[in-house]
């Protein structure tokens, strides 16, 4: 066989690219051993990006989640890796240096081996410090190149960035083709030139499927000398996510590469479990369009990872845009029309904004500007009438240097707002903050956690952590989930506590109710007596009131806090009646004091 190619499973990115949430801790602990059993993965992406923030958003502890998920892989000798946004850590906005340093110590202690460090602008000043911090924390620093396609993002450009990162201490390089719009031939050229210049440096290729280049890019990457390829597995593969491992393995094997076998029994079990997580609650937040590939992305270059949030934004703005169009006597647009319009607007504004690679958070900033442009034009206003604060920080250089030049009209807009362009090191704008968060932890009597992991979560995601600690996050998520289920028409599940039947004298019941007979009870180990309501002399009459604690058995309907259909098989339902409850005609079959 030929040269060996290893696979990395992007389990975190499979979820982040398809929907709003990620699996719960108990779900991750179920599937991790099955992924190990598949036997085809040398690495698994377990956390990072937005995944830990998402844990907080639905009221779970991300530290427990990371430790639980990495443990089986650590034991099996499978490397784990995380996604790291460099200056932004694992959130959307810049992070103080002392918090960045703490992150690597915490994640290493939690079982994460490799950190994939990227800057959405490919500004090495935002990546190089993290390379040093990762080494100090005991992690392997893998520096990433955010791949896109523009006049400034040439093969020479990427090889130059990679060289600077390797010379600064990066032990591995990743081609992070987050939108999958990197052209296959160019991707291969970048890898070949890096491997020729730095033969001992491992190179990993990461490419989303959205516009359809990913399979060809993976073949070119393999031919160029790549060491690892990122893949997904059904039912979360293809679409806006990644190719399935089965397809990529078969393609590379045919091309003469040495690839691992797949335990298909384990694959099918992993498939089943993942689908069960979708059925449980995650599927309510997955937009169906995320399972569809589209060549429209070739032009705009938006990444698959943001498609879920983008569709949510579009749906939220759809009515407002149509209202503005109506007021200006213009034709309304469908949601599908709006999607195409947004893609075209991104394609139009991107060069004017200096060609920032469309990856978190800069993909969101460019999308926000494009969406607000559409809204402004619907109202009869000019483009760029509304630019949010974060996007202005990007344009003024406070988050790093843009790869290209700003259009003159954008420069004028920035100056008209009284803003200045910044050319210094972005980290200097964000002073250390750990001492402030330590004081908050102590004032609230919160445990710092093993390896200061709870302190880290507060410092990295302060608002979400406070909501998690207060219980507000869980409450808010449950309300959101119920609303999503109701919108989807999901059946309601009514859960009631089991109420034990009171002890009673069989002979006394027979004397009181001579026409009664024994009926199967829903309570194990008890007997309920069915009463013939034709004999009205002993039956409770309509309008009879019962005091709290009395026990009633119904068959045709349940007189409770919510309406429930009667049991079709005639079995009785029993409950304690509320104070003042009334018996409706023909509902009572047996009454036991």
pLDDT, tens digit (0-9, with 9 covering 90-100), for 404-427 = 999 999 999 999 999 999 999 999
Pairing of strands 551-554, 573-576: antiparallel
pLDDT for the residue 311 = 78
- Proportion of the chain in helix, strand, coil states, percent, rounded to 5: 45, 15, 40
CB 243 within 8 A of CB 266: no
Over 60: is that where the pLDDT of 435 sits? yes
Q: Is 203 helix (H, G, I), strand (E, B) or coil?
A: strand
Highest mean pLDDT among 265-274, 293-302, 579-588: 265-274
Q: How far apart are CA 291 and CA 283, in angstroms?
A: 12
State how far Cα 462 lies from the chain centre. 19
Q: Based on DSSP, count helices (H) and strands (E) in the chain, helices before strands.
A: 22, 13
Q: How far apart are CA 338 and CA 284, in angstroms?
A: 23
Over 70: is that where the pLDDT of 276 sits? yes
Q: What is the mean pLDDT of the chain?
A: 86
Q: What is the mean pLDDT of residues 138-167?
A: 97
Partnered with residue 517 across adjacent β-strands are: 530
Q: Per-residue DSSP letters for 523-574?
A: STT--EEE--TT-TTTSPPTT-B--TT-EEEESS---SSS--PPPTT---EE
* Secondary-structure class of domain 6-286 per CATH: alpha beta
pLDDT for the residue 294 = 87
pLDDT for the residue 525 = 40
Read off the pLDDT band of 17 (50, 70, 90). Answer: confident
**Ramachandran quadrant class, 531 (left: phi over 0; alpha: psi -120 to 50; beta: rest):** beta
Over 80: is that where the pLDDT of 491 sits? no
Q: How far apart are CA 229 and CA 237, in angstroms?
A: 14
Helix pair 97-109, 124-136: axis angle to 10 deg: 40
CB 177 within 8 A of CB 146: no
Q: Whole-prediction pTM value? A: 0.81
Alpha-carbon Rg for the chain, nearest whole angstrom, is 30
Over 50: is that where the pLDDT of 342 sits? yes
Per-residue CA distances from 214 to 101, 118, 189, 357 (Å): 34, 20, 15, 18
What residue ranges do the domains of the chain occupy?
6-286, 297-429, 434-488, 494-593
Beta carbons within 10 angstroms of residue 498's beta carbon: 8
Q: What is the mean pLDDT of residues 539-544?
A: 50
Q: How far apart are CA 339 and CA 351, in angstroms?
A: 20
CB 363 within 8 A of CB 303: yes
Over 70: is that where the pLDDT of 329 sits? yes
CB 91 within 8 A of CB 52: no
pLDDT for the residue 563 = 32
pLDDT for the residue 336 = 87
Q: How far apart are CA 454 and CA 434, in angstroms?
A: 12
pLDDT for the residue 571 = 37
pLDDT, tens digit (0-9, with 9 covering 90-100), for 61-116 = 999 999 999 999 999 999 999 999 999 999 989 999 999 999 999 999 999 999 99
Pairing of strands 528-530, 517-519: antiparallel
Backbone angles phi, psi at 159, to 5 degrees: -65, -35
Read off the pLDDT band of 304 (50, 70, 90). Answer: low
Read off the pLDDT band of 297 (50, 70, 90). Answer: confident
pLDDT for the residue 158 = 98
The arrangement of strands across the sheet holding 573-576 comes to: 573-576, 551-554, 588-592
């Amino acid at each position: 066989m030929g040269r060996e190619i290893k696979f990395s499973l992007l389990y975190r990115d499979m979820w982040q690219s398809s929907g709003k949430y990620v699996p719960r801790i108990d779900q991750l602990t179920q599937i991790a051993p099955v992924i190990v059993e598949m036997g085809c993965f040398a690495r698994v992406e377990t956390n990072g990006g937005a995944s830990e923030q998402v844990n907080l958003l639905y009221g779970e502890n991300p530290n427990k989640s990371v430790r639980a998920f990495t443990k089986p892989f650590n034991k099996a000798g499978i490397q784990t890796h995380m996604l790291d946004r460099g200056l932004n850590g694992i959130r959307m906005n810049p992070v103080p240096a002392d918090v960045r340093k703490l992150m690597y110590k915490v994640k290493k202690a939690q079982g994460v081996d490799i950190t994939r460090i990227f800057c959405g602008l490919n500004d090495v000043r935002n990546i190089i410090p993290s390379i040093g911090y990762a080494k100090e924390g005991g992690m392997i620093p893998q520096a990433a190149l955010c791949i896109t396609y523009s006049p400034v993002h040439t093969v020479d450009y990427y090889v130059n960035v990679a060289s600077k990162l390797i010379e600064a201490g990066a032990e591995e390089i990743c081609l992070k083709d987050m939108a999958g719009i990197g052209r296959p031939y160019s991707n291969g050229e970048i890898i070949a030139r890096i491997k020729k210049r730095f033969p001992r440096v491992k190179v990993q290729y990461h490419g989303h499927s959205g516009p359809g280049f990913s399979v060809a890019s993976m073949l070119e990457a393999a031919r160029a000398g790549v060491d690892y390829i990122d893949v997904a597995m059904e039912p979360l593969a293809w679409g806006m996510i990644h190719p399935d491992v089965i397809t990529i393995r078969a393609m590379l094997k045919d091309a003469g590469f040495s690839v691992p076998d797949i335990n298909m029994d384990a694959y099918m079990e992993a498939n089943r479990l993942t689908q069960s997580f979708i059925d449980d609650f995650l599927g309510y937040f997955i937009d169906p369009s995320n399972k569809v590939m589209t060549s429209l992305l070739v032009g705009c270059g938006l990444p698959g990872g943001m498609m879920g949030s983008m569709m949510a934004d579009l749906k939220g703005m759809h009515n407002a845009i149509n209202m503005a169009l109506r007021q200006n006597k213009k034709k309304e647009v469908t949601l599908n029309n709006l999607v195409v319009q947004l893609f075209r607007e991104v394609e139009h504004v991107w060069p004017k904004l200096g060609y920032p690679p469309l990856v978190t958070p800069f993909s969101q900033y460019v999308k926000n500007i494009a969406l607000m442009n559409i809204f402004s034009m619907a109202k009869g206003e000019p483009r760029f009438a509304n630019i949010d604060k974060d996007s202005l920080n990007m344009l003024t250089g406070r988050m790093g240097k843009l790869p290209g030049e700003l259009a003159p009209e954008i420069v004028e807009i920035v100056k008209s707002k009284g803003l200045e362009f910044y050319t210094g090191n972005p980290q200097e704008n964000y002073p250390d903050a750990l001492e402030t968060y330590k004081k908050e932890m102590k004032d609230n009597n919160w445990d710092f956690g093993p390896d200061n992991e709870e302190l880290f979560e507060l410092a990295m995601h302060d608002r979400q952590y406070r909501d998690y600690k207060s219980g507000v996050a869980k409450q808010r998520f449950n309300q959101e989930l119920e609303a999503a289920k109701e919108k989807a028409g999901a059946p309601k599940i009514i859960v009631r506590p089991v109420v034990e039947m009171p002890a009673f004298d069989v002979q006394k019941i027979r004397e009181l109710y001579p026409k009664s007979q024994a009926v199967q009870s829903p309570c194990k180990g008890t007997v309920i007596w069915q009463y013939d309501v034709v004999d009205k002399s002993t039956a409770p009459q309509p309008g009879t009131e019962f005091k709290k604690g009395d026990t009633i058995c119904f068959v045709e309907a349940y007189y409770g806090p919510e309406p429930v259909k009667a049991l079709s098989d005639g079995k009785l339902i029993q409950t304690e009646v509320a104070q003042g409850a009334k018996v409706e005609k023909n509902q009572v079959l047996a009454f036991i004091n």
